[in-house]
Chain A
């Protein structure tokens, strides 16, 4: 009986915690501060290549990365998971996890005479796992923890040393690769399309 009281108390605490955290404020919009590290933004590898014979500058974005960013931005289509499907998944997942908790309780009641410490521990662990999973789902929109996956600009810092470089580019979505590439013609061209010496 004492075990059930404890489990009931745990359930009450978890139930009370859900609405409390559900009201949590969204993180503030980051200010436009150049000195700030924007960990909320997705990062990607990028290379700038000088290509012999290329007629125009081209920015290549892998389709796979574009799909990931669509997902992050909540854009429909293109492989993105829409909000409606997310809602269905959350409802179905919640129902099954609730059913798991109920079944665990029923089985505990049914086997209370032969209840062993191991079973009780397994049941509590299951409840904790379910509550943890629910918490993960609830906080799915939170930003990633700081310090993970540092964004390293690498040798890109050497690309622009003085005045800004400018020019028009073509944006191309490519099927292969996982890295953004800025392809720059090796030689400038005249208005007629001829390469300048």
Chain B
């Protein structure tokens, strides 16, 4: 579904991504791992159009999407959550998701209809599926960090994506919240038939839910393969698994 081929991105002198290659099949759960500064977030920003790549190809469903603005990429069916909480802090939880649903249905420009009652069913459905329905009238900025990270995912779901990109969905969460969140991600993927691309530092999580793992190191793709292959790779063992 998503093909990234030899993508390069530099900021002034510093080359953040120097040759990333990634392949995500429909319905797969794919993880990207690598130490801090390996270029994972930059890669995600390139895929979602927040940054423009210097060279290389990004194909989504066979179509080259590199160079499109991020709102166009979103309309093609890619939604994302952010590593650092990136929500609408002054709006209610309900409104946070509703804005995304309205955008998805092309209703953002309706001028004289009250938004209050629009797309409520869809919005509430999403909030229910992530377990935030009882907090729907809270101001988003007042939620706990864990809930804000969940809201991140809920906003992304508002766009009814085919491919959901999660940038460290559990960053800053307690171990209990982390496992609950990953259960949620798994359940959502199944329920909505989502393809998921995520990155994560917790190796237990990665190896327990990912069907395919891509390893990045200093901006390069080292390898992508099934969890067993990656686990048996000598470099990965040395760098991440603390063996050998």
User: Are A and B associated in one complex?
Assistant: no
Write the residues of chain B forming the contact surface with A, with a CB cutoff of 8 angstroms: none
Residues on A lying within 8 angstroms of B by beta carbon are none
